[in-house]
Amino acid sequence: MLIGDGIGHEIVPATQRVVSAAVTAAGSDVEWVELPLGLDAIESHGTPIPDSTLAALDALDAWILGPHDSAAYPEPFRGRLTPGGVVRKRFELFANIRPARSLAGVAATVPGMDLVIVRENTEGLYADRNMFAGSGEFMPTPDVALAVGVVTRQACERIAHTAFELARTRRSHVTIVHKANVLSMTTGLFRDVCREVGERDYPDVRIDDEHVDAMTAHLVRRGADFDVVVTENMFGDILSDLTGELSGSLGTAPSINSSETKVMAQAAHGAAPDIAGHNRANPTALMLSAAMMLEWLGDRRADRHLAGAAHRIRDAVRATIASGVATADLGGLASTSEFTETVLARTLRR
């Protein structure tokens, strides 16, 4: 596990306790390896993402990444690729899976929302990850700034397979989001390749597509109608923040980043330095992210113990919030530790 910065010091240990309890209760075990990252790593190793941390991750299949506050890093680290970005790029974590599901006990703008944003995580208009060397954003003169958007058939095909496979486990409906009326070659390629993959390999899955601007309106007006939404990097980042809030709160929005062989649990929210150290942070999103990580591992290893642990965590977190035990951001009175203790008790209940 990588604790990171800010509230990571509270929500990562809380999540570790819940995961350990759930895995043990499900009949298996887990070995934790704590690795330095973020401000603590700058103090101890002179860099926010030490080579020793990356080397250790090489040998691991799964890990939990706490939030990082790179804006608070001293120069020259502040302007560099964030620790999370370094990890995603090194291990080719091409699929960012971000569910948005309304929870009992949490007021939602769109009650009944239960969808998943499947975000291509390696290219698009993100300057920190779309080039082999250097940045996709540059300034040829002090008064001109340019950005390169990258879309490749290979990346489109693999994220499309991820989305359609996921849809088969849900309601068999995939919506492709693009802006092909303006970015006709780049997002048009994304749309066309995703549709080709679906029509060729997943004839049982219903396919439609939407322009990203129209999609924002559809999500607000009828977000409960969507199942799996697949889109490119920047659109996915923006839409998943929107759906997180529409379904209740970004504080409850989980996320994993995965390749074909490795998975990283990482909540969609940030480090919240303003409340760090006050025992007020909401660990829900990271706990649910860890459940996704366990489920991902369980699926690939055909390990019912890991799948069972994932169900235990989800059920315990949802039941805790539904019972009225919630942190301040959700309108509750529970501290981080009180919320965690309640989830732990429910995790071990059955």
Q: From CA 63, how far away is CA 79, in angstroms rounded?
A: 25
Could you tell me which of 207, 223, 267, 237 has the C-alpha nearest to residue 15?
A: 267
Distances 53 to 32, 38, 49, 86, 87 between C-alpha atoms, Å: 14, 11, 7, 11, 10
* Neighbour-count burial of 193, counting CB atoms closer than 10 A to its CB (0-12 exposed, 13-18 middle, 19+ buried): buried
Q: From CA 275, how far away is CA 31, in angstroms rounded?
A: 30
Residue type, 60: L
Residue 23 structure tokens:
């895995």
Could you tell me which of 46, 75, 22 has the C-alpha nearest to residue 292?
A: 22
Q: How many residues does the chain have?
A: 350
**Residue 74: which residues within 8 A CB-CB, separation 6 or more?**
42
**Residue 154: which residues within 8 A CB-CB, separation 6 or more?**
none
* Number of Cβ within a 10 Å radius of residue 323: 12
The residue whose two tokens read 């020793």 is: 52
Q: From CA 116, how far away is CA 134, in angstroms rounded?
A: 32
- Residues marked active site are found at 126, 179, 213, 237, 241
> What number of helices (H) and strands (E) belong to the chain?
11, 10
Give the CA count within 13 Å in the CB-facing half-sphere of 193: 23
